Structure 1
Amino acid sequence: MISKELSTTLGFAVREAKKRRHEYVCVEHVLYAILNHETGAETIEKCGGSPEQIKEELERFFNEKLTRIDAKEEYVLQQTIGFQRMIQRAINHARSAEKSEVNLGDILASIFQEKDSHAAFYLESEGITRLDVLKYISHTAEPAKKAGPPLGPSQKVFKHADRKTKRQKKKDPLATFTTNLLKKAADKKIDPLIGRTDEMDRLMQILCRRRKNNPILVGDPGVGKTAIAEGLAIQINDKLVPDLLENCELFSLDMGALLAGTKYRGDFEQRLKDVINALESKENALLIIDEIHTVVGAGATTSGSMDASNILKPALSSGDIKCVGTTTYEEYKNHFEKDRAFSRRFEKIEVLEPSIEETSLILNGLKPLYEKHHGLKYTAETIEAAAYLSDKYINDRLLPDKAIDVIDETGAYLRLKGKGKRKTVSPKDIEKIVAKIAKVPVTSVTSTDKANLSSLPKRLLKVIFGQDDAIQTLTTSIKRSRAGLASPDRPIGSFLFMGPTGVGKTEVAKQLAHHMGIEFLRFDMSEYMEKHAVSRLVGAPPGYVGFDQGGILTDSIRKHPHSVLLLDEIEKAHMDLFNILLQVMDYAT
């Protein structure tokens, strides 16, 4: 149960007590023996303590606090209660950890729990904690060193000097848990910031304040919040900032690295405190936290409320460090605003979606980077087409992110398919990629689909007989909408097909979808005669089961945004359905 090295160490402690003529063998004798063992001394050093300093304190304790038995007097060495408790705790700890034997590390950790002992006091005065010892012995994967007799004086001096040279220095927390954005900017590893003059001016204005100089960029995903924060590094590197910010150092916090490997309680808090202390030691440090809502609740346990945001609060309010955060409207409302004490330390800057013209300027600024990467040339018409078509057809994302993705994917598409033959990206290539992303036919995206629309009535009349007037009215309405004369917020067309059974109402909708090359979605309204069944189409209201699962109709439209939707047998549907259709036909939402 007890390891060989521990048995040797305990024997040394007993012999040392007898040698010094002490009546009892106590916890301090065991610590002295541990310090004279190679493994024990190394553990103390790795945890940040000085074995020689502790030994000096123990020598003073032995000489001043413990009485010596006269050499002529016979006595039997006794164990103190503290000594016995220490051994028992170490055995219990080894059993709970399912270890086959008790070793030096378990005894050393047990000493800390003997609060009234001088041994625990000497260890803690060196800045060592029980957690440090437990972390070291659990992370050390080396096999146990062969136990031997305690080292002689000359050996100890040599070994101690050798360990001093190998002592593991504490890593710089900024190098471990943050990224130096100024260095990235100097190495040209950050994409340039195009436009956003108003937002950047507001950002610098807040950073120049004396107190609460912490801006937070809030906006929808993809509008360029992170680009603005990183663009600040470029402006500081290029000396395009006020005097107060010229010597700033920018560090981007890596929350993943901060949380990774935090096995024990207190690890995360210690890492974050180390980062804050390192930032405070610098004169002009600026911390950037992307997705800052992740710090609210980060590192918290079920038994306490201490999380990353509470650790950051004092430093932020005093102005010792400056912080720039980025988050979305939804996350700001759900997480950030709930912690009022944390959110009041930040000044909100709203980042809105740029217009098509501003997006074109952004794409022109980024164009050289993508031309160099793909080995292609983007024309001015290509850039304008990417901004316009992505805004018109890709509705689930925002500019400029979706437009940048379009030109990037178009370059990758031509590079792989063309095998280097073509060197220029044309608007037609942009149309193909937009059609793929938006899941619509290429003919719907192109501006030259006049031939397709002009021949649509003839093609429909070839497959639908006896409904010439209905088809003519239908196709005329579609042409009018494609010409841009209809409201852009409404569906392309809303039609009510009336007539007896078997005249071709459903078939017209099917053939229309087929000849226009888009998806055909059919819902039988006879299944929605009950009031509660209507919620299946658009999803349950908040507070009801299935609220987060969406509706059958809404999910289908999200999956196929360009489609022909047929509500068959609509006269059988519940009246509540018609109220929903009013909104859909007015605003297509």
Structure 2
Amino acid sequence: MVGDTVYQDIIDLINNEIEELNIECIGTEMLLLALASMTDSMTSLIFKEMGVRNEDIKDEIKKCYFLRKKQTYTSEFLEIVNISKKLMKENEYVYDEAYLFSIITVDNTVAREIMKNLGISREVVLEELNNARELLEKDSHILVNLSRMAREGKLNPFIGRFNYIDKIDRILSKKQKNNPMLIGAAGVGKSGLVEGIAQYYQKKNPKQKIYRLDIGSIIAGTRYRGDLEERLLDAIESIKNDNAIVFIDEIHNILSPNYNEASLDIANILKPVLSRSEIKCIGATTTEEYYKYIYKDKALARRFQNVFIDEVSDEECFKILKGIKNNYTDYYNVEYSDEVLKYIISASKLITNRKLPDKAIDLLDESGLIAKRKKKDFVSKEIIINLIFENIGINRPKSIKNTKKLNDQRLKNIFLNYLNFKSGNVLTCIQCYDKSKILKIINFVFDIQDEKIKEIDLNDFIDSHFASNLIGAPSGYVGYDEGGQLTEHLIKHPFAVIVFKNYSEANQMIKGIIKNAINNGYIVDNKNRDINLKNVIFIFEEKKIHKKVGFIRPRESDTKVDDFINLTI
């Protein structure tokens, strides 16, 4: 315990001085002298600023005539020691400042009388101690004190999700395996849950402190192998006690070889620290990264207990937005109606590559800024929907203007429905014999870049096992990590155009995968990720048949290759 170490240092310093000063019963004056004698102690620094030397304190002690019982310590000395140890246990006072603070709070002691004689003001010492404490509490570039931020009201209010808070708290309170691992898709609120825990402990158990460990800052600037270990161990040592909890976001980086060779050293340093329960740790990562890195390292994985975090429901998200909206109302000086909050949630479903509540909170924030810059008193639905399309790479006002110039009324209706958030599971499915014409129209309306267009010739998918080329190979097979041509493109580009060539000649299983995806509005890849198709235009380009062969009737230009086709061109 830190307090015991400090106390022993004090006793050693006192024993070195009692013979010279002819002290038989150790009192508060010797405690004061010991604190001033400690190298680089807070007391010595404060006294030095005030021009007080150790010799000055000794001279004052020599002037005193003590009438004390024959005992080792005075009652006042023991009282101050007990107060100091209690301060170190319950608060963030460390080392000698706890003892100095205790001295100036206990009246009628020899130490206080000596300080008075030397012109050491109680008020000045208290101010210096408070300044020092503020410096100690300031975040380093490696550790961020989330508990302090919660105490100062710098975190967003945490709303709902008490089932997860209770689960995490129970894991942290266990004797063994008391390190929660939060696993879930990006944006489901893993970091927010940790901030919620910090706020929860401020009410339930203020002694519990949560720090965020910045892995990037630890690695940055380490030139030699020993630098990393020293920096990490110093950070852990500075907070190591029964009440310290370290939060590591994107914890898979401590094992990822793509991140930095030094990350492997971080994992090896943390394993023994966690096994000895010297600190508690909350990790957070995505499901994909967990199974790619953490799960394979059994020694690290077994030190954590997994907590799988799901995306919040629309009802939960509404409660969250309603609970935090006042922060943004005060900041931007604009109002958010309940109708607009619900619209944010429903319309945000167009942002298919992110999750609630993260994407909804971002829309709440940025829409308030836009309303303020437009000198509006409130956030409107128009601001929200334009912002959502901007997030997926579409200039909505310009696209609406260009759509109205189209000659084809069918395409005009489809695109306007989409831009007004009235489309179905997919944007549209178009069948044609020449993709260049329709691609030219799409580019005119949406100003789409070539990289968002993916062409897949289904003549190359003549057998069912070629399905892995579309959605990715199963786990354990070659190509699992690379994913499928179709699914990886859709993940990378929220708004995309997929051109399927020769759909009518594809294998029935391949057709089934495509048809089910379009009918359901999503496709599941080999890593079990649901990929939404709301912002996808499917073009089915077929070969034009010129001749009649035998008794086989040639396919007419308006014959649909499947019942999901919206129109033929």
Scaled to the shorter chain, the TM-score interval is 0.5 to 0.7
The within-5 A match list for 1:109-148 is none
Q: What secondary structure is seen at the aligned counterpart in 2 of 1:377? A: coil
Which runs of 5 or more structure 2 residues have no equivalent in the other structure? 1-38, 41-134, 524-569
Q: Once the 2 structures are TM-superposed, how far is the Cα of residue 235 of structure 1 from its aligned partner?
A: 1.9
Counterpart amino acid of 2:197?
L
Counterpart amino acid of 2:250?
E
The within-5 A match list for 1:61-100 is none
2:226 — aligned with what? 266
1:145-203 superposed Cα distances (whole Å, 9 cap, x missing partner): xxxxxxxxxxxxxxxxxxxxxxxxxx989964312222212222222211111000111
1:182 — aligned with what? 147
2:191 — aligned with what? 226
Q: What secondary structure is seen at the aligned counterpart in 2 of 1:581? A: helix
Q: Residues 410, 509 of structure 1: CA spacing in aligned structure 2 closer, same or farther, 3 A cutoff?
A: same
2:253 — aligned with what? 294
Q: Residues 211, 407 of structure 1: CA spacing in aligned structure 2 closer, same or farther, 3 A cutoff?
A: same
2:362 — aligned with what? 405
1:121 — aligned with what? none
Q: Distance in 2 between matches of 1:585 and 1:537?
A: 18
Q: Distance in 1 between matches of 2:263 and 2:436?
A: 63
Q: What secondary structure is seen at the aligned counterpart in 1 of 2:408? A: helix
Q: Distance in 2 between matches of 1:409 and 1:175?
A: 27
1:12 — aligned with what? none
Q: Distance in 2 between matches of 1:547 and 1:274?
A: 37
**Could you tell me the TM-score, scaled by structure 2's length?**
0.55
Q: Distance in 1 between matches of 2:194 and 2:367?
A: 28
Contact 1:375 1:423 in 2 (8 A): yes
Q: What secondary structure is seen at the aligned counterpart in 2 of 1:415? A: helix
2:426 — aligned with what? 491
Asked if residue 204 in structure 1 is aligned to residue 163 in structure 2, the reply is no
1:423 — aligned with what? 377
Contact 2:503 2:511 in 1 (8 A): no
Q: Residues 336, 572 of structure 1: CA spacing in aligned structure 2 closer, same or farther, 3 A cutoff?
A: closer
Counterpart amino acid of 2:161?
R
Counterpart amino acid of 2:274?
L
Question: Which moved further from structure 2: 422-431 or 573-582?
Answer: 573-582
1:585 — aligned with what? 518
Which runs of 5 or more structure 1 residues have no equivalent in the other structure? 1-44, 47-170, 462-470, 499-504
Which of residues 271, 279, 282 is equivalent to 1:313?
A: 271
Counterpart amino acid of 1:187?
E
2:489 — aligned with what? 555
1:378-426 superposed Cα distances (whole Å, 9 cap, x missing partner): 12111111111002x110111111111112222222333x1xx311111
1:35-94 superposed Cα distances (whole Å, 9 cap, x missing partner): xxxxxxxxxx99xxxxxxxxxxxxxxxxxxxxxxxxxxxxxxxxxxxxxxxxxxxxxxxx
Q: Distance in 2 between matches of 1:415 and 1:483?
A: 24
Q: Once the 2 structures are TM-superposed, how far is the Cα of residue 279 of structure 1 from its aligned partner?
A: 3.2
Contact 1:173 1:274 in 2 (8 A): no
Asked if residue 382 in structure 1 is aligned to residue 340 in structure 2, the reply is yes
Q: Residues 576, 287 of structure 1: CA spacing in aligned structure 2 closer, same or farther, 3 A cutoff?
A: closer
1:248 — aligned with what? 208
Counterpart amino acid of 2:306?
K
Contact 1:364 1:383 in 2 (8 A): yes
Contact 1:536 1:552 in 2 (8 A): no
1:51 — aligned with what? none
Q: Residues 429, 289 of structure 1: CA spacing in aligned structure 2 closer, same or farther, 3 A cutoff?
A: same
Q: Residues 278, 365 of structure 1: CA spacing in aligned structure 2 closer, same or farther, 3 A cutoff?
A: same
1:327 — aligned with what? 285
1:301-333 superposed Cα distances (whole Å, 9 cap, x missing partner): 98x997223322333233332222211112211
Contact 2:275 2:303 in 1 (8 A): yes
Counterpart amino acid of 1:426?
S
Which of residues 408, 413, 417 is equivalent to 1:460?
A: 408
Q: Distance in 2 between matches of 1:334 and 1:508?
A: 43
Q: Residues 585, 175 of structure 1: CA spacing in aligned structure 2 closer, same or farther, 3 A cutoff?
A: closer
Counterpart amino acid of 1:351?
I
Q: Distance in 2 between matches of 1:226 and 1:568?
A: 44
Q: Distance in 2 between matches of 1:306 and 1:553?
A: 31
1:369 — aligned with what? 327
Q: Distance in 1 between matches of 2:232 and 2:300?
A: 16
Q: What secondary structure is seen at the aligned counterpart in 2 of 1:213? A: coil
Q: What secondary structure is seen at the aligned counterpart in 2 of 1:376? A: coil
1:271-300 superposed Cα distances (whole Å, 9 cap, x missing partner): 3233333333x3422222222222337999
Q: Distance in 2 between matches of 1:301 and 1:560?
A: 30
Counterpart amino acid of 2:193?
I
Q: Distance in 2 between matches of 1:208 and 1:186?
A: 21
Q: Residues 219, 549 of structure 1: CA spacing in aligned structure 2 closer, same or farther, 3 A cutoff?
A: closer
1:214 — aligned with what? 179
Contact 2:459 2:502 in 1 (8 A): no
Query: Could you say what the CA RMSD is over the residues aligned between the two structures, in angstroms?
Result: 4.9
Q: Distance in 2 between matches of 1:336 and 1:545?
A: 20
Which of residues 409, 414, 422 is equivalent to 2:371?
A: 414
Q: Distance in 1 between matches of 2:315 and 2:179?
A: 31
Asked if residue 394 in structure 1 is aligned to residue 351 in structure 2, the reply is yes
Q: Distance in 2 between matches of 1:523 and 1:362?
A: 38
Q: Residues 352, 211 of structure 1: CA spacing in aligned structure 2 closer, same or farther, 3 A cutoff?
A: same
Q: Distance in 2 between matches of 1:557 and 1:263?
A: 37
Contact 1:441 1:517 in 2 (8 A): yes
Contact 2:490 2:496 in 1 (8 A): no
Asked if residue 191 in structure 1 is aligned to residue 156 in structure 2, the reply is yes
Counterpart amino acid of 1:400?
P
Q: What secondary structure is seen at the aligned counterpart in 2 of 1:275? A: helix
Which of residues 221, 226, 244 is equivalent to 1:285?
A: 244
Contact 2:257 2:263 in 1 (8 A): no
Counterpart amino acid of 1:406?
L
Q: Residues 371, 188 of structure 1: CA spacing in aligned structure 2 closer, same or farther, 3 A cutoff?
A: same
Q: Residues 559, 252 of structure 1: CA spacing in aligned structure 2 closer, same or farther, 3 A cutoff?
A: closer
1:344-385 superposed Cα distances (whole Å, 9 cap, x missing partner): 111111111001121111112221222222222212111111
The structure with the larger Rg is 1
Q: Once the 2 structures are TM-superposed, how far is the Cα of residue 219 of structure 1 from its aligned partner?
A: 1.1
Which of residues 337, 349, 354 is equivalent to 2:312?
A: 354
Q: What secondary structure is seen at the aligned counterpart in 2 of 1:359? A: helix
Q: Once the 2 structures are TM-superposed, how far is the Cα of residue 259 of structure 1 from its aligned partner?
A: 2.1
Q: Once the 2 structures are TM-superposed, how far is the Cα of residue 544 of structure 1 from its aligned partner?
A: 6.5
Q: What secondary structure is seen at the aligned counterpart in 2 of 1:195? A: coil
1:494-550 superposed Cα distances (whole Å, 9 cap, x missing partner): 46569xxxxxx869956985897686998888x664459989984885876897496
User: Identity over the aligned pairs, expressed in percent?
Assistant: 28
Counterpart amino acid of 2:366?
E
